[in-house]
Every structure is written in structure tokens, then in C-alpha cells.
Amino acid sequence: MGHDAAVGRRHPSAGRRRPAAGRGRRRDPGQRQRRGTRPPCDADPRPASPPLIICEESGRTGPVSVSPLTRDEHSAEFFDAAARGVLLLRWSTECGGYLPPAAVICPCAPLAPLEWREASGLGEVVTWTVIPVRGTDAVPPTVVAYVELAEGPWITVRVRGIDPAKLRAGHPVRIGFETPEGGGETIPIALPPHPG
């Protein structure tokens, strides 16, 4: 446009152009002004993060358990076995597979009854995180891991007796049990594969 030999520079679009209506162009290359911008529908589109709790007793900062685990009708048998040092998993009578202890229905057969079955207590670390204690090196950091049990389900446990620097994916562990200092139910923990 504007360079047609027949009309030359007399073409209406030849010469200086008017700027577009609205705000002017941005000065930096690659930037553009979006039209019709509006705030997002959600006041805060980021997912909610867990609350930051400061534990006054230990001086620890970060997400911590507010209360000890408590039993209900679905978990009573699990906690009774844990107090005896036995790990129980859920077993689907319909599909014949193991499920995590917290499962209340089988994903492939929701109407199938679930039974408790004793697990070997052996597994491998899938992933882990090290939570340091702020302000002191005297207290060892807390290590929490996902452990894939030999039967298949994954459970989340604290790791005890294993140097966090030596942990790796596939690290063998055995499941032990401990009762929290503040009381509550006996819970599974990950220990080195061989006692001692």
C-alpha cells in the first residue's frame, strides 16, 4: 500500500500513519499492550499452601502436625497391629491387590470388601525430603520419605537411623514402629534394612 506506481505517493495510506486508538505502543522491543485486560476471576489463583506453624516447644518453623494421629473405625485394627510391631495393609478381595493402609475403598472395585493383611515390612525409598531444624545443629533434621513396600503400595513415613546424605532412590528400608513423645498412636517409620 502506498507504493502503487499508478498513484505514487498520493495514495491515502501513504505517508505518516495515525497511532492506534488507546494507549501508545511500549518503547521496548517485543513488548505489546494487551487490550481488554481484567483481573482474574479468582482473587488468588495460586493453590493454597499449608499454614506455617511455629512450634513453641521445639522452636521449629514449618508445617508440623498439629495433633497426634487418632484412630477411627477404619484404622483401629491397623493401630492395634502397629502397637504389636506388625504392619497391616488393605487387601481387595475382588481384584486381589494390596492397597495403602488409609484406603477405605478399592479403586477398581468400589463395592468390594477390604481385608487387613500382614505385610513383609520391606520396601524401597521412592523420594524423600530433609527438614532442617532452624538455629541448631545439635538436633538432627527430620527426614520424611515415600516408601514403596514390597507388596506395591506407597506409604509416607519418617526415616530413622539412616544418614540423609546417603539416601537415594531405591535405598532398601524395613518398616519399624515408634510412639510419638507427646503420646498418640504407634506409627510406622523407615529403618535401615538390617538391624544394628
Neighbours of 134 (CB within 10 A): 11
d(CA 106, CA 81): 21
14, pLDDT greater than 90: no
> What's the whole-number mean pLDDT along residues 81-109?
93
Q: Where are the beta strands (DSSP E) in the chain?
A: 53-55, 60-62, 88-92, 98-99, 114-118, 122-131, 142-149, 154-159, 172-178, 187-191
Contact present, 151 and 126 (Cβ < 8 Å): no
pLDDT, tens only, 62-74: 444 445 677 888 8
1, pLDDT greater than 60: no
172, pLDDT greater than 90: yes
Per-residue confidence at 11, pLDDT binned at 50, 70, 90? low
